[in-house]
A and B are shown apart, each in its own frame.
Chain A
Amino acid sequence: MASLKSPPERERHDEPGPMVPEPFVVRSKRQDTSDTWTLELTSVADDAGLHFAPGQFTMIEAGGSGEVPISISGDPGEPDVLVHTVRSVGLATQAICKAQPGQVLGVRGPFGNSWPVELLEGRDVVVAAGGIGLAPLRPAILAMIANRERYGRLVLLYGARTASQMLYVDELERWREEGFEVHATVDSAGPEWLGHVGVVTRLIGRARLTASFAGLTCGPEIMMRLTALALADFGIDGEQLYVSTERNMQCGIGHCGHCQLGPWLLCRDGPVFDWQTLAHWLQLRDV
């Protein structure tokens, strides 16, 4: 604006722009399922991870293959390492999943808002996750376990397509020991699976939920919609249910326009919203 600019010397800027990535090195890598890997990374500059809140994401890339939004799946209490769980579905995620320990990737962030874990202190909380949707919820689960005494009942409902597609299998048992009621289900089961079979919303009936619960959910949009409907039957209404949403994102900072959903820029105003706020917009077609 006119008032901003005398003297007319061009201002030097030394801070790098928000679109410039920081190099992070892959410290370790673990294969979770046939198409999903978990990477641990640290910044090349200071050998640390990122301070973040559960539910936030970064824009990450393996050089030259495109940058994509990926939720941080690590423990917010241990920001010394940046953890991402990535499902290989296309060019960018494939390149990230192929990265080997020692490889340097580009990272920007963390961006977005977070799961309201502090707001929910004192409450019963049900976490409903579908497939890769457990990755963005893991930091919230770990944050609640770290402060287990501040919550009432904690329930995790997790659904995957098959038993071999389940994430964090070893951890599910540990979370159970640490105070989560864990219910898992698969869409289709082989002989090795002894648990529930059926979509994740079918677990809701088994979990003895009451209106005192609040919910966190992440998974395919249809699953989140059905979860909202099923929870409503137990008196858990849309204002008490939080969802993490997914849209195309090219910047993560509200500048590229791609992640619009009606009045929101999901990267800037989300990705976490209460269901009540989004339900109208998600029910309209092709918005």
Chain B
Amino acid sequence: MAELASCTLEREAFDSLFEALERRGYGVIGPRVRDGAIVYDRIAASSDLPVGLTDEQDGGHYRLVPREDAALFGYNVGPHSWKRFQLPAQRTLWRGKLDEDGNLSDIVEGPAEPERLAFLGARSCELHAMGILDRVLLGGSHPDPAERAAREGVFIVAVQCSQAGGTCFCASMGTGPTAQSGFDIALTEVIEDGRHYFVTAPGSDAGRELLAELPTSAAGAAEEGAASAAHARAAAQMGRELDITDIRELLYRNYDHPRWNEVAERCLTCGNCTMVCPTCFCTSVEDVTDLERTSVERVQRWDSCFTIDYSHIHGGAVRQSAHSRYRQWMTHKLATWIDQFGSSGCVGCGRCITWCPVGIDITEEARAIRASEEAVHAGAR
């Protein structure tokens, strides 16, 4: 890792970052407002960012509201995550021809995204989520070359959170709020005493080279102190927590816990939580043929363990009940993922809590199971 020699970049000069990325041929993806939410999409200038907005978040609640300042990054994470660029929500795996005898021929792989992308505004939890998804998709014995190529070309400009979102609990998961690695450049936004600037730090050689082209100045102790204070503020604001002590063993012991039935009474099995989660990776494939059946296209789409079809085998779905499906999802995130891929599948971003239409809260569900065990133990003593 590169040493963190920090500099400052004034707000007025921020667009030089876009220009430098453009010169290198990157298409820039970053936060912008669409349909009342902050999503990740193409951006070309700082004016495309959600300037002066923040996001109010709670269980089942999300609302954009104006801030008192003109911060560029004064909000947390929205319904999108960078997952959509690592694992597109829909992609063509291959196309082929069919003749009247059903012969499959001329199989060609689906087109790969030709462009190199820069991710601007990735938060600490999101960098961890990208790493987790990398281990799932690229870490096994059959990595997809298209997915690997897409990932390896990415330039990452991280933004350090200077406030915690209403549903965040990254501190519990050890994934934030401050990014330590996994980026090319990290920015901390500071608005203080009439001055609006960014404290910048390189995380790679490519990041250092790019920063050298920007009109930065060396950061002084006061500016570095302001950045640290912003990081500390985010940590201090974190309103939710999830105790992960022996969480795998806790959940493995409690597959028959009555709490699964209670949460199933509220859960609509809509799958929103899996769609917004930055690490949920499940997909299914479907064959699309034209009317004359002369061509076939295999399409891969995000899927959700909350659907009945997900576990369909001849003879019926394995997970028929809502309780078994919520249990599958939560134990996968917090427990079985550890066995499958060597880490937790949850980074504490809070999206599943915010975007659950009925406000089901993974931290609350985990707490309820732990508390009931502790109550039993206390009773037994």
Contact = CB atoms under 8 A, between A and B. Distances in A.
A1 B336 CA distance: 25
A108 B150 CA distance: 23
A219 B146 CA distance: 37
A8 interface: yes
B144 interface: yes
B-side binding surface: helix, strand, loop or mixed?
Answer: mixed
Contacts of A89: 314
B153 interface: yes
A246 interface: yes
B98 A64 contact: yes
A70 B195 CA distance: 65
Interface string A4-37: 1110111111011111111100000000000000
Interface stretch (B135-143, B211-219, B356-364): B135-143
Interface in A64-86: 64-67
A8 B116 contact: yes
B9 to A, nearest CB: 19
B182 A262 contact: no
B332 interface: yes
B140 A6 contact: no
Contacts of A148: none
Contact of A103 (B103, B204, B207): B103
Given A253-B142, A287-B324, 9 more contacts: A5-B204, A8-B116, A15-B145, A16-B109, A17-B146, A19-B300, A104-B105, A257-B282, A287-B255
Nearest to A13: B145
A286 interface: yes
A98 to B, nearest CB: 8
B153 A5 contact: yes
Interface of B: 24-26, 93-94, 96, 98, 101-105, 107, 109, 112, 114, 116, 131, 134, 136-137, 140-149, 151-156, 181-184, 203-207, 255-256, 281-287, 289, 293, 296, 298, 300, 303, 305, 310-314, 318-321, 323-324, 328, 331-332, 336, 339-340
Contacts of B131: 1
B107 A255 contact: no
Interface string A153-197: 000000000000000000000000000000000000000000000
Nearest to B145: A13
B306 to A, nearest CB: 12
27 contacts: A1-B134, A1-B182, A5-B153, A6-B204, A8-B26, A8-B116, A11-B153, A13-B145, A17-B145, A20-B109, A21-B104, A62-B104, A64-B98, A66-B286, A104-B103, A105-B104, A106-B107, A250-B283, A250-B303, A254-B140, A255-B283, A256-B285, A256-B303, A262-B331, A263-B336, A268-B141, A284-B256
Contact of A258 (B101, B154, B155, B311): B311
Contacts of B318: 247-248, 286-287
Question: By CB atoms of chain A within 10 A, which of B96, B103, B203, B300 has the most?
Answer: B103
A20 B94 contact: yes
Contacts of A18: 142-144
Of all A-B residue pairs in the complex, the 3 with the closest CB atoms, nearest first, are: A263-B339, A257-B282, A286-B324
B204 A13 contact: no
Contacts, number: 186
Contact of A5 (B112, B206, B310, B332): B206
A257 B207 CA distance: 35
A287 to B, nearest CB: 7
B312 A63 contact: no
A96 to B, nearest CB: 10
B101 A8 contact: no
Contact of B336 (A21, A63, A253, A260): A260
Given A1-B134, A62-B102, A8 B146 contact: no
A187 to B, nearest CB: 17
Contacts of B98: 63-64
A102 interface: yes
Interface string A102-116: 111110000000000
Contacts of B203: 2
A264 B340 CA distance: 6
A127 B324 CA distance: 33
Contacts of B109: 16-17, 20
Contacts of A208: none
Given A65-B287, A255-B283, A262 B311 contact: no
Contacts of B96: 63, 106
A251 interface: yes
A20 B93 contact: yes
B283 A2 contact: no
A253 B141 CA distance: 8
Nearest to B313: A248
A28 B281 CA distance: 39
Given A2-B156, A8-B206, A255 B303 contact: no
A258 B152 contact: no
B214 to A, nearest CB: 17
Given A63-B103, A286-B324, A257 B182 contact: no
B289 A248 contact: no
A104 B155 contact: no
Nearest to A15: B145
A5 B314 CA distance: 45
B93 A255 contact: no
B104 A4 contact: no
